[in-house]
Structure formats: structure tokens, C-alpha cells
Structure 1
């Protein structure tokens, strides 16, 4: 079990959404945080909230996870502030759902650079400085183990993150370092609101049939799983159910998804006629 009190943790994407909720809950648990994100205004806002808690130490660094130089500087600043790194929580990412034919090659490349290579950049920069018994986490998605209509650009890097983490786990275990993968479902965050602007009709219909979690709920489940050094951290019943079904009965999952999409497309046709 990990005791967060006094732990020095570097967290990316920690100024908004799930990352922000994780940062606040870690601060309440007494962790020392280096919060890294691009949005300086949002960073300062969450830093001020954490300082009001009067718990552990907190610092911030504005950086883009796709910029190796900036990330290396963020790691060095963490060492300067805290002396060592006990944990790395990589949460930065983005999603741009749309029909495949509407997505440019640049959008696919951006997903790879942010959602996959961003994690590699952060972990490679921090890895040499991890303390004994350290912990790492990366944020994938439900879409990282089960393809979903409209997420062709997003799913690939998120699937890749899980494969990367599975391989890295085997290298880290003899060193006493754990790695976890957070796979959140639909969560009410600023990023989710942006996704809704480009979601295909069918994707939106699938979302309507699923429960929407709050960032604080996801953060609570995540930190409990991370504390126990669980590899896959799934946040609700639906996520766990589809994870098991995808592993045991992938054909059944395809049938269920095809049926739901077919119903949505029929609804779309009727809506156009109206």
C-alpha cells in the first residue's frame, strides 16, 4: 500500500478535469506535488486551491508534453523543489472524435504525439530519478481496450499505451517500481465538452446510453487503485463489464456495439426526414 503523505509526485495534465481532481485529492492526502500543464492560468488557479488546504508542498511548471526540452526542465524543477521523485502520474491528453473521413492526417499525428509520445517523453525524462518503490501511472481510456465509433484517431494511441505499460511493467517489477493504467469512461470534464462539439451522431447516441462520471469520482477510484498498485484501474461497473467481455467474448461485444450503432443510424435517418 502506498502512503501518499510526504510523497513527491509529478503529475501532468493536472490543472483541469480528472488531473485537477487527482491533484486536489493528493494534496489533501499530504503529497508534495509538481503540477505540469500548458494552461498557466488554470495551473495558478489549482495551485491556489491547493495552498488553501495547507497540506503538502506544491509547485507548478508550464510545459507541453510533446516538447522534450520543456518536460526535461519540468523534471529538473521537480528535483530542485523536492529532491527526489516518488511517483509520476501522466494524465495529459486530448480526444477529437469525428467520422474517419473527416479527420485529417494532422489530427491523427497530433493524437499520437500527445496521447502516446507525450507519455514516453514524460516517463523517459523522469525514469532515471525515480526513488526505490516508486510508482508510475498513465491514462488510457475505455477506448484503449475497446474500439468505439468515432474514435479512430484516439483509440490507436490509447491501445498503444496499454501495450506499452504491459511491457514496461515486466521491466519495472524487479526494480520494485509499479505502473498502473487508468481507463476512465465518459467523464464530465472540459475535454469532454470539447469532444461533444465534433462527436458523430452515432457516438453521441452511444454516450447517451452510458453513465457520465464526475472527475472527483474518477480521481477517488484511481487513487485507491494506485495506492494498491493495481495495473488496470477501471472506474465503474460498465467499464469493468466491457473489459471482461472484450477479453472473454469479443465477438459478443462487436454484436452489441453493431446493434447499438444500427439503432442510432436509423434514428439519425428518421431525424433527417423530420
Structure 2
């Protein structure tokens, strides 16, 4: 089934690499106008900008670090100025480090919490005035939120917090007709290289016997953004191959 999102105005954070780039492309190809961002420019951002320019629609790229309040405000202002409002927000930007708890200082803790959790709050907080009835907020979480992962206490805490934030926002914004859901990916094969040992281990853990692709996640994001999911809010949707 082809999902058309023609006329929708979309913000995707962290949209120039991996999962974010696939989501950005999918929205543009579905007919939406997309504004995306990354912390820095660079080759990946330039390549995506060229691709979006060749795709019909009103598409934009902004350099913004979503862990910085001033950058979030500038990002939301750009959505107002260039798109005239928002119908969909995808909070995809995230960071991860692998640090034993005895070595995890407050700076490292705050860096991951600010990017993976606080940024989602800040964007919705500042963009809520741009969201009308029928709008959809999709927070990209992680299957690790409930499982936990060795040396990633800060990351899993942030992703678990994202579930709680989503549930509360769903109840608060529901009367306005705004839906809020979490996409919970499993292990996805992006441009980041995995060793053959790691890839094989994760493949064996999934019911489907393989890793997922960014495009497979993007398809579910389109569904959650569309009217096909009009009665879904506060949900955590796992896309993990049955891990």
C-alpha cells in the first residue's frame, strides 16, 4: 500500500544519516514538505540536500544541535517561516556512548540525556503551537529501553524516559487531536559498520534471522504519521524482527 502524505509539513531531527535519512527520504517521496537538521553539515548533509532538491516538494535543511535550547528555538522558527506550521514531528536525533557506570561522569550522563530525551521535550514544548488537530508526534526510542544494555545506563535511561514522556504527552495533547507515539527499533543495519561477529550474534537473536533496514523503520513512521493510524496514540511500536 502506498501512503500519500501530500500537503503534510514535517520536521525530522537528526535526518541526514542512517535511520533519520531514510525517514526524511520517505516523507519527501510520499509528497510531504520536509525540514530536517543535523548538528553539523558535511558530506552526508550535502548529499541529502541534493537528493531532496531533486524530489518534488518544499524541502529544507538546517544546522542545529537539538541539545541546545537556542538551536531548538531556531529550528522551530524555521518550521514556522519556511513551512508555515507542522503536521508531523519526528524526534529522531540521538547519541550513544558505551561507558561503564564507574567511569560515567555527570557531563557524559547529561550529554546523552539532553540529546535523547530532553531535546524531544524541548522540541514539542516549542513546536506545540504549530501543531493542529490531526498532527502526529513520533519519538524514535529503542528496544533497549526495557531490556537494558551493558555500559549504556545513560542511553537506556533516556530511551525509557522517552516512553513515559510519550504516554503523558499523548494524554495531554489528545484533546487537541494531536497523537504521540514511540517507534522502538531493534538492531538496524545502517552505514555504521558492525563486525561480522556482532552482526551474526544479533541475527541469531531475531525471529526473522536478520537485521532490519532503515527503510523498514521509515515505512512504519509513515504509517504512524498518516490517517491510517488515526486511533493510535501513547503506543510503543516495536520494529525489531522479533528479537
TM-score class, shorter-chain normalisation, is 0.7 to 0.9
Structure 2 residue 50 is the aligned partner of structure 1 residue 48 = yes
Equivalent-residue separation in structure 2 for 1:45 and 1:81 (angstroms): 21
Determine helix, strand or coil for the equivalent of 1:183.
strand
Cα shift readout 1:186-226 (whole Å, capped 9, x = no counterpart): 11224x54xx69xxx9x889636334212112212332244
Q: Which runs of 4+ in 1 moved over 4 A?
A: 203-206
Equivalent-residue separation in structure 2 for 1:72 and 1:3 (angstroms): 29
- 2:212 corresponds in structure 1 to 213
- 2:170 corresponds in structure 1 to 169
1:1-80 alignment runs, 5 A limit: 3-41=4-42, 42-53=44-55, 55-80=56-81
1:5 and 1:31 in contact (8 A); partners too:
yes
- 1:223 corresponds in structure 2 to 222
1:40-189 alignment runs, 5 A limit: 40-41=41-42, 42-53=44-55, 55-189=56-190
Greater gyration radius: 1
Q: Which moved more, 1:224-233 or 1:176-185?
A: 224-233
Equivalent-residue separation in structure 2 for 1:212 and 1:225 (angstroms): 22
The alignment's C-alpha RMSD in Å is: 2.3
Equivalent-residue separation in structure 1 for 2:106 and 2:211 (angstroms): 30
Equivalent-residue separation in structure 1 for 2:212 and 2:168 (angstroms): 29
Equivalent-residue separation in structure 1 for 2:216 and 2:203 (angstroms): 19
- 1:236 corresponds in structure 2 to 240
Structure in which a larger fraction of residues adopt helix: 1
Q: Which moved more, 1:75-84 or 1:220-229?
A: 220-229
Shift of 1:3: 4.8
Equivalent-residue separation in structure 2 for 1:178 and 1:17 (angstroms): 25
TM-score (norm: length of structure 1): 0.77
2:211 and 2:241 in contact (8 A); partners too:
no
* Unaligned ranges ≥5, structure 1: 240-274
Cα shift readout 1:115-156 (whole Å, capped 9, x = no counterpart): 111111211111122122211111110012222333212100
Equivalent-residue separation in structure 2 for 1:204 and 1:100 (angstroms): 25
1:180 and 1:226 in contact (8 A); partners too:
no
Determine helix, strand or coil for the equivalent of 1:132.
strand
The 1:163–1:116 alpha-carbon spacing in structure 2 relative to 1, beyond 3 Å, is same
* Unaligned ranges ≥5, structure 2: none
